[in-house]
Amino acid sequence: NAGVTQTPKFQVLKTGQSMTLQCAQDMNHNSMYWYRQDPGMGLRLIYYSASEGTTDKGEVPNGYNVSRLNKREFSLRLESAAPSQTSVYFCASSEAAREGNIQYFGAGTRLSVL
Amino acid sequence: AQKITQTQPGMFVQEKEAVTLDCTYDTSDPSYGLFWYKQPSSGEMIFLIYQGSYDQQNATEGRYSLNFQKARKSANLVISASQLGDSAMYFCAMREGRGYSTLTFGKGTMLLVSP
């Protein structure tokens, strides 16, 4: 029972490089989310997708793009990485129809931009 | 104004004792949910417990309970009989409204359990 799977687990980029973080969930959830976690800041929402075919900006969307490829997959793209994007990135999914609309998280991707 | 406030950067507790982690929230929406997540040193975010704003009773999940005081806008996490494995970062979060609305997280409290 995998839940939410993120790849890669670790990545080092040079400033200006691009990359895509992948996220897949096997819980048949409608909603998916991308967060970043910085020291002392808690988690902040980058983008979310309420359902397949929709995406919306969160609190800190600048410098990122997302794609909801299908119901299972939600990717986060950094087009031109900057040192300020060094962070731990978490993907989550939830089902609004269920009690609490609880979000379940992947293991995270640690990204360093040099 | 911060929507979720966790005033304790760090807490220490001895094994087998109970500990309370504080969380206060700010919302004008009558429908909301409050959540606690645990983040051990390995880094994953683990869901612990949920309380809906209309729930009459405090939520409980095993050794975890949520002390929900609506008038005071507080949602404190109580861990009974602490274990060494409870040492972790704990985050309080809030969902405002119904449906797919997103979570706002507090900055977390680091809990250290000593033998």
- Calpha distance B100→B115 (Å, rounded): 42
CB contact (8 A) between residue A104 and residue B106:
no
Rounded CA-CA distance B4/B94 in Å is 7
Determine the distance in angstroms separating the CA of B95 from the nearest CA of chain A, rounded to an integer: 9
Whether the upstream peptide bond of residue B9 has omega within 30° of 0, thus cis, is no
CA of A50, closest CA in chain B: separation in Å?
A: 6
Amino acid at the residue B43: G
Q: Is A48 helix (H, G, I), strand (E, B) or coil?
A: strand
Dihedral angle sign, alpha carbons of residues A68, A69, A73, A78: negative
Contacts of residue A96 in chain B, CB cutoff 8 Å? 98-100
Q: Which of B45, B51, B61, B105 would you mutate first to test chain A, the one with the most A CBs within 10 A?
A: B45
The minimal CB distance from B91 to the residues A42, A92, A106 is found for A42
Dump the DSSP string for A59-107.
S--TTEEEEE-SSSBEEEEESS--GGG-EEEEEEEE-TTSGGG--EE--
**Which of A5, A59, A101, A102 to mutate against chain B (most B CBs within 10 Å)?**
A101
Q: What pLDDT is recorded for position A1?
A: 64
d(CA A103, CA B91): 13
DSSP B43: -
Distance CA B103, CA A32 (A): 12
Phi, psi of B86 (to 5 degrees): -80, -10
Tokens representing residue A47 in the block = 């983008």
Mean pLDDT value across chain A: 94
Environment class of A66 (CB within 10 Å of its CB; exposed 0-12, middle 13-18, buried 19+): buried
For tokens 């861990």, name the residue.
B79
Answer for the pair A105, A31: CB distance below 8 angstroms, yes or no: no
pLDDT of residue B99: 63
Segment A64-79, tens digit of pLDDT: 999 998 999 999 999 9
Q: What are the 10-residue block averages of pLDDT along chain B, 115 residues in total?
A: 90 97 95 96 95 94 96 97 97 84 92 97
Give the nearest partner residue to B102 out of A58, A102, A104, using CB atoms. A58
Interface of B to A at Cβ within 8 Å reads 4, 33, 35, 37, 43-47, 50, 52, 91, 93, 95, 98-103, 105-108
What pLDDT digit, counting tens, does each position of A71-110 carry? 999 999 999 999 999 999 999 999 877 778 899 999 999 9
